[in-house]
């Protein structure tokens, strides 16, 4: 077993220890895990992506994601709102009108999602998966 101090002195590098931390009674081992807990999963990033340029009503979001169940869409929207990525505006009308839009925190994560999306398309190509229309990739 090599001594890390010895390696650091020879290679002139410093090892970086990822900080463990607890948030809402959950232990996290790195910041990526923390981010993925906030915006990861099947539906959260697609929701944020659809809200990147405009405010949408619940029904408009649902139409763009026909595979998501009402229960999952509602839960994902609720969690994104609780974590400060989206805002929910309820109009006092009958029937109820609810609109969703990105907060500043939500806007900041759009470039991250864009990079992940581009990487996902490239990885799909690398694995021989047809990505369809090239306009979608851009």
* Domain architecture of the chain: domains with CATH: 1-37 (no CATH), 40-130 (1.10.10.10)
Residue 71 is predicted with a pLDDT of 98
pLDDT band at 137 (very low <50, low <70, confident <90, very high): very low
pTM of the model: 0.82
Residue 134 has pLDDT above 50, yes or no: yes
**Local structure of 87: helix, strand or coil:** strand
Residue 1 has pLDDT above 70, yes or no: no
28 forms beta bridges with 21
Separation of CA 66 from chain center: 19
Q: How far apart are CA 29 and CA 33, in angstroms?
A: 7
Cβ atoms of residues 29 and 18 within 8 Å? yes
Cβ atoms of residues 47 and 72 within 8 Å? no
Separation of CA 101 from chain center: 15
pLDDT band at 138 (very low <50, low <70, confident <90, very high): very low
What is the sign of the dihedral through the CA atoms of 20, 21, 27 and 33?
A: negative
Q: What is the mean pLDDT of residues 123-128?
A: 95
With vertex at residue 31, the alpha carbon angle to CA 51 and CA 33, rounded to the nearest 5 degrees, is 75
What pLDDT, in 10s, does the model give residues 21-70?
Answer: 999 999 999 999 999 999 999 999 999 999 999 999 999 999 999 999 99
């Amino acid at each position: 077993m090599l001594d890390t101090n010895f390696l650091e002195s020879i290679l002139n590098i410093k090892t970086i220890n990822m900080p463990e931390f607890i948030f809402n009674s959950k232990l996290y081992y790195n910041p990526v895990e923390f981010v993925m807990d906030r915006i990861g999963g099947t539906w959260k990033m697609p929701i944020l992506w659809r809200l990147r340029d405009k405010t949408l009503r619940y029904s408009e979001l649902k139409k763009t994601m026909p595979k998501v169940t009402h229960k999952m869409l509602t839960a994902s929207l609720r969690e994104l709102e609780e974590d400060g990525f989206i805002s929910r505006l309820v109009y006092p009308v009958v029937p109820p009108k609810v609109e969703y839009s990105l907060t500043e925190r939500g806007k900041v994560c759009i470039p991250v999602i864009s990079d992940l999306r581009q990487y996902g398309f490239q990885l799909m190509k690398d694995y021989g998966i047809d990505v369809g229309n090239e306009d979608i990739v851009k």
